[in-house]
Chains A and B, each alone.
Chain A
Amino acid sequence: MRIRHVIPTVGPSASAGLREAQELTLRSVRTALHCTEEGIDVEVRAVHFPDEPLDCDWVTDCPILDRSVLDITEFEVPRRLPLLFDVLAGLGDSSQYDVAVFTNADIAVQPLFYELIAELHDDGHDAASVTRRTVHPRFRGSSMARLMTADSSPHPGHDCFSMTADIVDRLETSNVALGTRWVARSLLWQLQLTAKKFRHFGDLHATLHVGDDRPWVDPQFAEYERHNAAATKELVRALVERYGTSPVERLQSIQPFLAAIATDSPVNARRADARPRPYGSPAFAGLEPRMIFSANPGRSGSAFLASLLGASPSISSGHEREPKMVGPWARRIAFEPASASYDERLIKADAVRAELAQIPSHWAYADSSHMFIKTFADVIFDEFQHERLNVVVLRRDPIDVARSMFNLDYLGPLPAAWEDWLLPPTAPESAFPLDPEDIVDQFDLIFGYLVDIENRTDRFRTLAPAVTWIDAWLEHLASRDGALQLFERLDVPTPDDLDDILADQPNRKTQRKSHLGQPVPRSLVQKRLTRFLDRHRDRPDLQLFIENNGLDGL
């Protein structure tokens, strides 16, 4: 793979702080070049004004900037800022590289940065934004090694892009200037529209910036911000012409520009600056649309959860959305290692991605399916940024769940539809395997299945700590307080008709239960659960189920 990395470098006239940051950047890039394996050819190009030379003999010198923003517009306070697309022109002939990388002069890279870029593209990400981490030097200064390994915090925005040569060729150009607001958006939006599989990596420890200075918030930059807003507006006009209105209006933060085009007026900078309410951490405000899934065993109120979420004006919610990943998919998970079906199961992530493209960026996509934790959590966690993901761990008293399952004859002796979605604990890949010889009755299978779900959930929870995991008991969720808490945790608007929704909680299986006609008393289920726990109490993989469901007393 041939990677070409352009960096707009500064020269002697730049501030001491920026030159110092650039020095760190170049040292880090050199280190990364040393750490890059054979087979990945990296060329670093320093793009600059001819009279701002760079003293560095291992980069390709590109003194090609023959104009600045000052040649485009007049400003009261002149700042000689390069134009983004002039810098990207420094990439040169697109037949000479496979992947282009653009970073600013003050973005340092980690030693395996180029390996990462190559891997992202091998994974099919034909364009990506990798947002920097912010590190703070010690009071007396820090070495590069210290900065690279220091505690860091995520940062909003976009400052490092990678894209295929083909995408570079298709970019619309504009006169946006570097170093002020809206510059990154003019590239980001195009990548989102053009790429087959764009991804924003907002929390990778791949690049870093020292300090959190944000010079563009300086009021002196306001006129440059207005310039960039106007240039971006023209770019948006071109994007609408090329891609149509619908794909463009789904892009985050683009509405003020579309409104300005529609009314033929300047971009309302304040409105354009408005960000969605921060979610969890301010850094994650730009990571939408978000996704909400649920970890539950079924018969736990997942349909109710879907209708509750769907009542929010900014959630596209469904219960068991297509493809449901049932039937053969569940059987493969039960009887083969998850790795055997992994590549095929990526279709679920593709489907979610297709659905996300249909909803506004400030909305959330929700699917409360109990198949999530069984047949597609791993592909979702692999394919989407964890900070965008929320998982509602939905619990209901296991005695009630087991009773409901028994009444529906789940895991019963006769072949039935449950085989399409339940994982028997006697299957080889169960997360709570039971020897068939140990099965006394149907309740053993049901309880074993419930423990499997508990352990499966915990396994993913451990492996994906950056996902927002929300524990909820159905009984609490069905109350006004519980529902309000859920919406607050998810940071989505509460539905106006919340009381109506809470008053109308259908049990969709009531009719089928009455048809089967084998109701079982709750006390009997409790006795069977006690017996099950007694028989397996020594197993370490049962403890979480006991603890999380408050079964210590049984």
Chain B
Amino acid sequence: MKHLYLIYHVPKTGGQTIRNHLARTLERDLDFIHLGKWDREEPLSTEDVAALSPAQRDRLRSVSGHPVSRDLIPLFPSRTIREVVFLREPAARFVSHYNFNCTMRERRGEQAPLFEEFQAKMDANLMTTMLLDRLGLPNSPRGFSLLLAELAKMWMVATDDSLDVLAPHLFSALGLDPRLPLRSNVTGHSIERHISPTPQLVDEIRSEARLDVLLYEATRRFEQQTLARFGIIEKAQSRRPLLFVP
């Protein structure tokens, strides 16, 4: 396969939905690898991918999971890399992350943390921090600009709002049947709702997550370009050539 799809996965942004879909339709660990723990004793890492034979790596169509980073790219010198990322409104993501965390802990028989404790411990700008790290960009004053410039170049950048319409294109590119419906992880069904995003809470979270808010706004902009590229919406006509051209 010419292309290798790197699917970056920030927690609670639709990554599990994609992973589950791949798992239903592809040979796990042969056609795709999901890094991280999932249901294993020990989590898979970049080193595990590096340990594969060239033939095994050639067979891979995608690598997904929280640890996915650009460190993987040198392992696939003959492949064209297509990067995919879905992000989510920061307050909604944060609340979902908390609910998920509580449910997981309770399932393990542990005490669920108070929201304030979770908030104090968790990086308010997790999407930004994680993507900077995964893309190998400096967490420096110029880092955020570099991150947005990199996102602008990715093959598929969108918010979870577009997951339903873009996933068939992703799966089609991966050689899967795009008609197979997604099954998502909805809070209230498999995940217990410990807290709901009230307007006040949303404001509070967003005021702490300034970079993630800006990242999300930029993602919404790039999402329009992604949707236009796949013919889902019409490409917006830029009037730029008429003005400000030196």
Q: Which residues of A contact B (CB under 8 A)?
A: 122-124, 243-247, 320, 322-329, 337-339, 342-344, 346-347, 350-351, 353-355, 358, 378, 417, 420, 429, 431, 459-460, 463
Contacts and interface: CB of A to CB of B under 8 A. Distances in A.
Contacts of B144: 322-324
A327 B145 contact: yes
Given A243-B199, A247-B203, A343-B236, 6 more contacts: A320-B141, A338-B240, A342-B240, A343-B240, A350-B217, A463-B243
A244 to B, nearest CB: 2
A322 B199 contact: no
Given A329-B149, A338-B244, A463-B243, A244 B202 contact: yes
Contacts of A322: 144-145, 210-211, 214
A358 B214 CA distance: 12
Interface of B: 141-142, 144-146, 148-149, 152, 198-200, 202-203, 206-207, 210-211, 213-214, 217-218, 220-222, 225, 236-238, 240-241, 243-246
Contact of A343 (B148, B225, B244): B225
A338 B245 contact: yes
A471 to B, nearest CB: 21
A231 B5 CA distance: 56
Contacts of A339: 238, 240-241, 244-245
Contact of A246 (B141, B200, B217): B200
A23 B107 CA distance: 72
Contacts of B221: 344, 346-347, 350
A26 to B, nearest CB: 32
A338 B245 CA distance: 6
9 contacts: A123-B236, A124-B236, A243-B199, A343-B236, A347-B148, A351-B217, A351-B218, A355-B214, A378-B244
A347 B237 contact: no
Contacts of B149: 327-329, 344
Contact of B145 (A324, A417, A431): A324
Contacts of B222: 344, 347
Contacts of A338: 240, 244-246
Contacts of A460: 244
Contacts of A244: 198-200, 202-203
Nearest to B219: A347
Contacts of A420: 142
Give 5 closest A-B pairs by Cβ, nearest first: A244-B199, A328-B149, A339-B240, A347-B218, A342-B240
A79 B129 CA distance: 61
Contacts of A378: 240, 243-244
B199 A325 contact: no
A360 to B, nearest CB: 13
Contacts of B244: 338-339, 378, 459-460, 463
Contacts of B218: 323, 347, 350-351
Among B200, B202, B213, B221, find the residue whose CB has the most chain A CB atoms closer than 10 A: B221
B243 A122 contact: no
A342 B199 contact: no
A514 to B, nearest CB: 21
B203 A246 contact: yes
A487 B199 CA distance: 35
Nearest to A430: B246
Given A322-B211, A378-B243, A122 B237 contact: yes
A349 to B, nearest CB: 9
A11 to B, nearest CB: 43
Contacts of A243: 199
B202 A327 contact: no
Contacts of B243: 378, 463
B214 to A, nearest CB: 5
Contacts of B142: 324, 326-327, 417, 420
B214 A337 contact: no
B146 A328 contact: yes
Contacts of B206: 358
Contacts of B217: 347, 350-351, 353-354
Contacts of A344: 149, 152, 221-222, 225
A323 B199 contact: no
A354 to B, nearest CB: 5
A324 B240 contact: no
A343 B202 contact: no
